[in-house]
């Protein structure tokens, strides 16, 4: 196991009705003037936004609202949010929604205390300071409610880029599984695919002797595989929603990634797809992850066979572990299809003729991508090609 630091200071309030205490938590974590930030209307329609505002008013907390965050959140709205925070001297950003609202809130929090252009941070500038962010989560998926990162799409050229740092972990996150019962089946499935990908980016590693994190990863995957079909069959299944919600958090706050190298090449290849076609991140991952697996499998057949046996219940073929490894990838693809995910370019709406453009915007040049297998630009092209058929 590698040396590591693990700093995950988010306070989680989990369970039914917990959003009623949003105002108390803002106060407890030092907020007095708040920007409430949300998406395109689901939180208005559900009445959640009104409940949050009432909770803030109860604690005499001043607030300003900024809605309109789109999935794959755009840079332009972030500038508006920063301007509001500076003008109104706000000291706290409260995100109400999914990963997009939270990521946009994190970006605003960075820019509100920075004199330059906040996009600098998404081009690699070190993150050191930000306003505090709290979240009320309505979609189990991205894990941004506990993660140290944010992903924003620059409207000019639709470039999707990430940035991260300790100060970007929310100070609190309210997780009420009931709030996810209104999710369309497609978003539930996209969310599950994303959280599985967060685990697998960490699971496929070259680091040896990481039994504890291997087993955590496998446990999270097994739980998602068991609970997601239940939530799809009965969207109001509270227990399934609750398990899925916590799975999304533990999949990405890095508790299952510490002490081991993690990969992230599939996420970066996917960000080019959701940047170019504005598709859901989870759906893009459903197309890219199996393709990546098929391409890199021979690097460590044993690890893929372990994944097949422990996660997908495949029988080990001792004569030919490669068969077992392939079987695991097939079962993973079948699961994705069974929950309504696309697994090939055309099902996603992606086009083979855009592969060159995807490779170009990824902008690898002579560098490599990932760590399990260090991918060259040529490898990336081949993986996109594998995702076509």
**What is the Cα–Cα distance from 344 to 63, expressed in whole angstroms?**
44
If you write DSSP's letter for every residue of 213-242 in order, what string do you get?
Answer: HHHHHHHHHHHHHHHHHHHHH-TT-HHHHH
Is the CB of 68 or the CB of 326 nearer to ligand NZQ? 68
| Helix, coil or strand: residue 85 | helix
Q: Scanning residues 193 to 212, which ones bind Zn ion (CB under 5 A)?
A: 194
In 3D, which of 111, 86, 107 has the Cα closest to residue 95? 107
Is the CB of 194 or the CB of 333 nearer to ligand NZQ? 194
The reply on whether position 19 binds Zn ion by CB under 5 A is: no
Least CB distance from residue 375 to ligand NZQ, whole Å? Answer: 18
**What is the Cα–Cα distance from 261 to 201, expressed in whole angstroms?**
9
The reply on whether position 145 binds Zn ion by CB under 5 A is: no
Is the CB of 25 or the CB of 204 nearer to Zn ion? 204
Partner from ligand NZQ, Zn ion, none binding residue 150, C-beta < 5-8 Å depending on class: ligand NZQ
Is the CB of 133 or the CB of 325 nearer to ligand NZQ? 133
Least CB distance from residue 321 to ligand NZQ, whole Å? Answer: 30
* Contact assessment for residue 128 and residue 164, using Cβ atoms and an 8 Å cutoff: no
Partner from Zn ion, ligand NZQ, none binding residue 182, C-beta < 5-8 Å depending on class: ligand NZQ
Distances (CA, A) of 195 to 9, 38, 238: 20, 22, 19
Centroid of chain to Cα 1 = 25
Compose the 102-121 pattern: x for residues touching Zn ion by CB under 5 A, - for all others.
--------------------
Partner from Zn ion, ligand NZQ, none binding residue 192, C-beta < 5-8 Å depending on class: none
Centroid of chain to Cα 51 = 26
* Contact assessment for residue 75 and residue 108, using Cβ atoms and an 8 Å cutoff: no
Least CB distance from residue 150 to ligand NZQ, whole Å? Answer: 5
Q: Which of these ranges, 49-57, 190-198, 242-250, 339-347, lies near Zn ion under the rule CB under 5 A?
A: 190-198
Query: What would the two tokens of residue 209 be?
Result: 């002797």
| Chain residues in the site for ligand NZQ (CB under 6 A) | 39-43, 71-73, 97-101, 103, 138-139, 141-144, 147, 149-151, 179-180, 182-183, 187, 191, 194, 252, 267, 281-282
Partner from ligand NZQ, Zn ion, none binding residue 40, C-beta < 5-8 Å depending on class: ligand NZQ
Is the CB of 160 or the CB of 294 nearer to ligand NZQ? 160
SS3 content of the chain, % helix, strand, coil (to 5): 55, 10, 35
Partner from ligand NZQ, Zn ion, none binding residue 112, C-beta < 5-8 Å depending on class: none
If you write DSSP's letter for every residue of 240-306 in order, what string do you get?
Answer: HHHHHHHHHHHTTSSTTTTTS----HHHHHHHHHHHHH---HHHHHHHHHHHHHHHHGGG-HHHHHH
Binding site for Zn ion (CB under 5 A): 194
């Amino acid at each position: 196991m590698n040396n590591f630091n693990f700093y995950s200071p988010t306070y989680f309030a989990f369970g039914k009705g917990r959003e009623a205490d949003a105002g108390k938590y803002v106060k407890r974590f030092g907020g007095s003037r708040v920007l409430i930030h949300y998406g395109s209307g689901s939180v208005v329609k559900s009445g959640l936004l009104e409940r949050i505002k009432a909770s803030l008013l109860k604690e005499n907390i001043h607030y300003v609202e900024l809605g309109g965050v789109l999935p794959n959140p755009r840079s332009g709205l972030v500038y508006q949010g920063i301007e509001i925070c500076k003008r109104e001297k706000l000291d706290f950003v409260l995100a109400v929604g999914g990963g997009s609202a939270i990521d946009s809130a994190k970006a605003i929090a960075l820019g509100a205390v920075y004199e330059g252009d906040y996009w600098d941070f998404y081009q690699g500038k070190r993150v050191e300071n930000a306003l505090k962010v709290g979240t009320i989560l309505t979609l189990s998926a991205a894990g941004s409610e506990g993660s140290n990162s944010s992903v924003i799409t620059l409207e000019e050229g639709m470039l999707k880029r990430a940035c991260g740092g300790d100060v970007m972990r929310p100070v609190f996150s309210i997780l009420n599984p009931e709030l996810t019962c209104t999710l369309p089946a497609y978003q539930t499935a996209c969310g599950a695919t994303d959280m599985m990908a967060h685990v697998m980016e960490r699971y496929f590693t070259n680091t040896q002797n990481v039994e504890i994190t291997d087993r955590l990863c496998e446990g999270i995957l097994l739980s998602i595989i068991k609970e997601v079909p239940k939530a799809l069959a009965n969207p109001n299944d509270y227990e399934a929603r609750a398990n899925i919600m916590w799975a999304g958090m533990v999949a990405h706050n890095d508790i299952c990634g510490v002490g081991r190298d993690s990969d992230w090449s599939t996420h970066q290849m996917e960000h080019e797809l959701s940047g170019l076609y504005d598709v859901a991140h989870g759906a893009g991952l459903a197309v890219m992850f199996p393709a990546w697996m098929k391409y890199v499998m021979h690097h460590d057949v044993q690890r893929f066979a372990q994944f097949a046996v422990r996660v997908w219940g495949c029988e080990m073929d001792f004569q030919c572990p490669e068969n077992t490894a392939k079987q695991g990838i097939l079962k993973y693809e079948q699961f994705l299809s069974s929950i309504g995910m696309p697994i090939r370019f055309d099902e996603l709406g992606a086009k083979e003729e855009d592969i060159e453009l995807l490779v170009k915007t990824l902008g690898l040049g002579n560098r490599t991508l990932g760590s399990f297998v260090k991918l060259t630009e040529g490898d990336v092209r081949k993986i996109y090609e594998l995702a076509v058929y």
